């Protein structure tokens, strides 16, 4: 039986009547090129599952956010395409979600200005990301770096999103979005749903060279980060060089044995097995042999993804069209919401 077009429009707007709100997922990823193992296990894998569970899902390539750290234009353009190819290869389906580039929907920036006028500066200065990233900019920091959490709030609220998949390090930013939504509602009347967090169940993936910090694309140690497009030889080398300790037995104890515990977390996440099952499989193995077991599991997981990335990267026009089509759908969804925001604040 066909769904009535009016119901489809109501679903897109986020309302099925005055008091009923549709559950809507919003999340985004910065275009840093091909994602790494931590991105995949902590976010993208969850995105693939969520697009099957929810009827209204938006995923954005956050190119505006990427400007908070200096980028050469040509590098940014290529990173946008490479990130898009990678998440498509991982299983994101444009038929089941809106996949789009943030800067193609100007309402993100316009709403960020409105919300910024409701946000106090001391609150932004307290956010740990400001303190950490400012250090990488010679302790100066830019206005964009300070205010990008407000743009994140606009990203979420523009679509009346109800749920946001986040990692532990983004919880404070979501709390800011929640507070901004409540502040707006108090000032202008109930309008925004207060978005809820969907926390990743995957343990945070750590650097292979320093298990005290999370895996990062910007890590200067090339052996610290496994990218999903790495060759089998590269993956084996990185796991062989992974920092562990002088105890040969494989156990899970993040406080006392962070390096080995990180390997166990990765092994469980890529195989879908429980920690208990993974440790049982590792019985009798020393850490040197176990590293190769984990490496092989990662190679098997990423082999089809790596092949698909290569195919998708050969057709740039296809990737661009997917992002443009997704942006048109996102604009259609955002337009009536933003027009109502304009009316509420007195612009029209």
* 321 noted as active-site residue: no
Annotated catalytic residue within 206, 214, 291, 301: 214
Per the CB < 8 A criterion, the answer to whether 38 and 205 are in contact is: yes
* 133 noted as active-site residue: yes
Hey, which bits of the chain come out as E strands?
A: 25-29, 57-61, 98-101, 163-166, 196-199
Contacts of 273 (CB under 8 A, 6+ apart): 267, 281
d(CA 294, CA 8): 45
Contacts of 90 (CB under 8 A, 6+ apart): 35, 40, 44, 45, 48, 228, 305
Locate 301 and state its tokens.
């997981």
C-alpha triplet 122, 127, 132: angle, nearest 5° = 125
Helix segments in the chain, DSSP class H: 5-13, 37-39, 45-53, 63-66, 73-89, 107-116, 121-125, 128-135, 143-157, 171-188, 232-240, 258-271, 275-281, 287-313, 316-345
* 160 noted as active-site residue: no
| DSSP 8-state symbol, 168 | G
Q: Helix, strand, coil shares of the chain as percentages rounded to 5?
A: 55, 10, 35
Annotated catalytic residue within 217, 316, 329, 331: 217
d(CA 247, CA 260): 9
Name 25's bridge partners.
57, 163
Annotated catalytic residue within 96, 133, 316, 331: 133
How far from the centroid of its chain's Cα atoms is residue 329's Cα? 20
* Direct distance between the N- and C-terminal alpha carbons of the chain, in angstroms, rounded to an integer: 40
**Active-site positions?**
133, 214, 217
């Amino acid at each position: 039986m066909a769904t009535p077009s009016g119901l489809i429009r109501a679903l897109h707007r986020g309302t099925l009547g005055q008091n009923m709100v549709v559950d809507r997922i919003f999340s985004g990823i910065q275009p840093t090129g091909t994602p790494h193992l931590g991105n995949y296990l902590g976010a993208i894998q969850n995105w693939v599952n969520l697009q099957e569970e929810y009827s209204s899902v938006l995923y954005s390539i956050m190119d505006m956010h990427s400007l908070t750290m200096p980028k050469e234009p040509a590098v940014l353009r290529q990173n946008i395409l490479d990130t898009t190819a990678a998440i498509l290869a991982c299983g994101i389906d444009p038929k089941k979600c809106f996949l789009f580039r943030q800067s193609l929907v100007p309402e993100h920036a316009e709403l960020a200005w409105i919300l910024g006028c409701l946000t106090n500066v001391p609150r932004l200065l307290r956010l740990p990301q400001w303190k950490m990233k400012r250090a990488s900019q010679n302790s100066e920091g830019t206005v964009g770096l300070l205010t990008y959490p407000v743009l994140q709030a606009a990203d979420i609220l523009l679509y009346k999103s109800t749920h946001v998949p986040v990692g532990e390090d983004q919880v404070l930013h979501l709390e800011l979005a929640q507070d901004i939504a409540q502040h707006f509602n108090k000032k202008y009347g109930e309008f925004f749903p207060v978005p809820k967090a969907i926390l990743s169940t995957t343990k945070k993936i750590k650097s292979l060279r320093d298990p005290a910090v999370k895996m990062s694309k910007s890590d200067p140690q090339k052996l610290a980060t496994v990218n999903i497009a790495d060759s089998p030889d590269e993956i084996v080398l990185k796991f062989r060089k992974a920092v562990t300790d002088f105890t040969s037995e494989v156990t899970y104890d993040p406080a006392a044995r962070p390096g080995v515990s990180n390997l166990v977390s990765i092994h469980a996440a890529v195989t879908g097995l429980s920690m208990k099952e993974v440790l049982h499989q590792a019985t009798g193995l020393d850490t040197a042999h176990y590293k190769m077991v984990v490496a092989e599991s990662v190679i098997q997981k990423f082999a089809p993804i790596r092949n698909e990335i290569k195919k998708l990267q050969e057709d740039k026009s296809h990737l661009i069209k997917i992002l443009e089509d997704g942006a048109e759908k996102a604009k259609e969804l955002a337009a009536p919401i933003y027009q109502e925001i304009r009316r509420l604040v007195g612009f029209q």
